[in-house]
Structure 1
Amino acid sequence: MELEYLAKSLGLDSVGFGYLQTIFGVLQLVGGYIFGRFADQFGARAALILSCASGSFFFLLMSFSTNIPLLFLSRLPGVFMHGIPGAQKVITDVTTPSQRAGALGKLGFCFGVGIITGSAVGGVLSTKFGVYVPTYVGLVGSLINTLIAVLWIPSQTKPKSDHHRTEHSTSPSGSLFSIREILRLMKFPGVMEVFIVKVFAGFPIGLFMIMFSIISMDFFGLEAVESGYLMSYFGVLQMVVQGLVVGKLASRCSEMTLLRLSVFVFACVGLGMALMRTVWHYCIIAAPLVFAFSMLATITDSILTKAVPPSDTGAMLGICASVQPLTRTVGPTIGGVLYKQFGVSSFGYLQLMVNLGLFVFLLKSKIPLEEMKSQ
């Protein structure tokens, strides 16, 4: 939100702001896998330090962005700004496979708290003290995070036995970016199937969220403050689901059951979105939507990191982290056409059809989850 105010204060129109967001999405898309490979080759601690340091550089450049070219230049450090995959890599290294889904859920809860708190504080700071003040606070916060990563994250996060196996199971290519390496990971049992579900199950709702600022004004008739309240409600739901629901279900149900459940709930959400007419309808739909979104993200990350050797968990997390930037990159164009030509209900019908297809696929396919163990 603060970025929008800063861009507007510099005279950037909506089209230019779309280009700015697209550039950031492309950088994140390309950088996600490279960051994951870096984590595999140099350790989770080094990767987390790189992410936090890049964040510091990002906010530093933003604080100096007194014109539009500098604002575009400030996006460049985004290629290595992957705090969530970096933290997930640490969690993946220090947890057993049976603990992983619950731990990743708790991590998502912590990030949710940070996003909600940061958005609220940023809004207050930019309103009362100017659009550049949030960038100064972000710079200080990123520097503190960098210091924490240097001082308190152990240099070796993998258990010794896994570390020994990792040294003898390094991937064929030593480069940080290799299409051949991505294809190699996709050949592990079950990886391609689960990754397809991860990409397509949430894609329609991703298009809807990209267009949400326009939909909230045109379709729901909300003011900016009311839209902010709605997003806060969405964030609180996400914290509750991540903190209280995902971990408990992960300890009691199989991962395939939860994967099917999340896709089925997504399909039901699609039907609800196709029929909704008011913002109150959306508030009701938001609860199962957040559940499905959070469950899908956590379970697929857990499954996919178990499916590959310990030496490749960072690369796998990097590939997973590229799904959202991919949606942000192609989403504005596709979402704009859907909304203009077919209206809000089109997002719901697309969500329903895609997830019903995926649900049938999961029911019929024999994805070998039982073989998904650290090698």
Structure 2
Amino acid sequence: MRRSPLLPIFLTVFVDVLGLTLVLPLLPFYAEHFGASEIVVGVLAASYAVCQLVSGPILGRISDRVGRKPTLLASQAGTFLGFLVIGSASSLSMLFVGRIIDGLTAGNLTIAQAYISDVTRPEERTRAFGLIGIAFGSGFLLGPAITGELASRFGYGAPAYGAAVLSLTSIFLTATLLPAKPIVPAAPPEAAAAEPARASAIGRGDAFRRFFDRPLPRRRLLEFFAFTLSFSTLIGGLALFLERRFAFGVRETGYLYAFSGLVGGSIQGGAIGRLAKRFGEERLALIGFGTMVIGYGLLGVAYALPTLLVLVGIGAFGSAVVRPAVTTLLTKSVGRDEQGAALGVSQSLASLSQIVGPIGAGWLIEHRALSAYGLMAAGFAAVGVLLGLQKLPVGEPVES
């Protein structure tokens, strides 16, 4: 049997995410170790996103032109170097340098999504994008728990060095397993006929204007932005929230991240394909946004561990179904040759949300507004609900 074309990209994304999740719950405690305030912790997270905001569309377009594999390798090399700097950090400024290096080359997820679009048909895409969700869920299950143990036993630098080793492994997997030119399913004749016009459009104007001028891609991008704003706000302040409300350290925080990853990975590992077939991507995204509103919005009333676990589980379900559903809807709303650029724009919006979310969360937590922190994350998810309830403009084509 021929090996699935999604296997190598799943392996590389899984190893990348595992490395990321080794560092993600660590950074707030690492920064506080060097005297950072809550708002500075948010700025540290935002520094990565500011750089990614610039690099995302550029890397997406480069991958459309020169190929997914070389662009992904360059991106992974930057991640590897950034982790090394963080692991050897002796000051807060070195943490910033490590995150900036990583952010300037941060295109791994965008390129992986574009690769999946290359090798799958539209009707298969939600399940295929669920593979990235499985990678995220598995990474969040294993990485944070490992981080807690490594940091408590060997110091804050140890998880970052572990992440660097995983990043190097990811580079090796990409170099050896990922085909240089993926096998692309044949496009329908009408889509093939439209390719030259779309390619010409790609060469003109700004990527944001090109997609936001069209009602359907604009709606999908705004839904993705609402999701990433909500999720980034939650993740950007979660460690600080847990530290202040429940007196959690890096080990306990790591285990809670792991629980969230278990829920998300379970959904995307087996249920996401069936859910997409039963409800369709639009309704599935709406359900996911609704559960995010509930899970995040009620965090302020969580004072006992069982309540916290229930709410985190609800929110994890929501984010687990929204990401693949909305990403699928986005790729279906544009031409095949535009998918890399569209996903690059979505990554830029994600980067913008990763600036606003952590800084906003840090500011609220610094002012002891813990309930408002959860409500802020829920409010952004509620925008996704409102977008999902809107009807498409009359005459607007449906995704195919």
Deviation of the 1:99 alpha carbon: 0.7
The letter of the residue matching 2:52 is: Q
Partner of 1:214: 240
The 1:263–1:332 alpha-carbon spacing in structure 2 relative to 1, beyond 3 Å, is closer
The 1:222–1:143 alpha-carbon spacing in structure 2 relative to 1, beyond 3 Å, is closer
Deviation of the 1:179 alpha carbon: 6.8
The letter of the residue matching 1:13 is: A
The CA distance in 2 between the partners of 1:56 and 1:157, in whole Å, is: 25
The 1:165–1:291 alpha-carbon spacing in structure 2 relative to 1, beyond 3 Å, is farther
Question: 2:60·2:340 contact (CA, 8 Å) conserved in 1?
Answer: yes
Question: 2:64·2:341 contact (CA, 8 Å) conserved in 1?
Answer: yes
Q: Structure 2 length normalisation: TM-score?
A: 0.79
The letter of the residue matching 2:67 is: G
Which runs of 5 or more structure 2 residues have no equivalent in the other structure? Answer: 1-24
The letter of the residue matching 2:113 is: Q
The 1:217–1:122 alpha-carbon spacing in structure 2 relative to 1, beyond 3 Å, is closer
C-alpha distance after superposition, 1:322-358 (max 9, x if no partner) = 3443233122442245456683333455556655565
> Are 2:196 and 1:146 equivalent residues in the alignment?
no
Partner of 2:307: 281
Deviation of the 1:314 alpha carbon: 1.3
Aligned match for 2:68, one of 29, 44, 54: 44
The CA distance in 1 between the partners of 2:382 and 2:157, in whole Å, is: 46
Aligned match for 2:45, one of 14, 21, 28: 21
Deviation of the 1:258 alpha carbon: 1.3
The letter of the residue matching 2:36 is: D
**Matched ranges for 1:95-244 at <5 A:** 95-157=120-182, 159=184, 161=186, 168=196, 169-172=198-201, 180-201=206-227, 203-204=229-230, 206-244=232-270
Task: Give secondary structure in 2 for the equivalent of 1:254.
Answer: helix
Partner of 2:15: none
The CA distance in 2 between the partners of 1:64 and 1:351, in whole Å, is: 33
Partner of 1:35: 59
Partner of 1:343: 369
Partner of 1:87: 112
Deviation of the 1:61 alpha carbon: 3.6
Partner of 2:77: 53
The letter of the residue matching 1:29 is: L
Question: 1:101·1:247 contact (CA, 8 Å) conserved in 2?
Answer: yes
Partner of 2:318: 292
The CA distance in 2 between the partners of 1:218 and 1:137, in whole Å, is: 28
C-alpha distance after superposition, 1:76-107 (max 9, x if no partner) = 24222232222222211111111100111122
The CA distance in 1 between the partners of 2:136 and 2:86, in whole Å, is: 22
The CA distance in 2 between the partners of 1:118 and 1:100, in whole Å, is: 27
**Matched ranges for 1:325-344 at <5 A:** 325-339=351-365, 343-344=369-370
Partner of 2:288: 262
The 1:136–1:307 alpha-carbon spacing in structure 2 relative to 1, beyond 3 Å, is same
Deviation of the 1:195 alpha carbon: 2.0
The 1:348–1:77 alpha-carbon spacing in structure 2 relative to 1, beyond 3 Å, is closer
The 1:228–1:19 alpha-carbon spacing in structure 2 relative to 1, beyond 3 Å, is same
The CA distance in 1 between the partners of 2:389 and 2:272, in whole Å, is: 22
Question: 1:171·1:311 contact (CA, 8 Å) conserved in 2?
Answer: no
Deviation of the 1:171 alpha carbon: 4.8
Partner of 2:332: 306
C-alpha distance after superposition, 1:55-90 (max 9, x if no partner) = 222234445544554443333242222322222222
Number of residue pairs matched by the alignment? 369
Task: Give secondary structure in 1 for the equivalent of 2:206.
Answer: helix
The letter of the residue matching 2:81 is: F
The 1:25–1:302 alpha-carbon spacing in structure 2 relative to 1, beyond 3 Å, is same
The CA distance in 2 between the partners of 1:358 and 1:137, in whole Å, is: 36
The 1:280–1:57 alpha-carbon spacing in structure 2 relative to 1, beyond 3 Å, is same
The letter of the residue matching 1:81 is: A
The 1:349–1:119 alpha-carbon spacing in structure 2 relative to 1, beyond 3 Å, is closer
Task: Give secondary structure in 2 for the equivalent of 1:170.
Answer: helix
C-alpha distance after superposition, 1:111-131 (max 9, x if no partner) = 321343233334434444454
The 1:113–1:73 alpha-carbon spacing in structure 2 relative to 1, beyond 3 Å, is same
Cα RMSD for the two superposed structures: 3.3
The CA distance in 2 between the partners of 1:315 and 1:116, in whole Å, is: 31
Deviation of the 1:46 alpha carbon: 2.1
The 1:36–1:136 alpha-carbon spacing in structure 2 relative to 1, beyond 3 Å, is same
The CA distance in 2 between the partners of 1:171 and 1:307, in whole Å, is: 17
Which runs of 5 or more structure 1 residues have no equivalent in the other structure? Answer: none
The CA distance in 1 between the partners of 2:86 and 2:389, in whole Å, is: 48
Partner of 2:348: 322
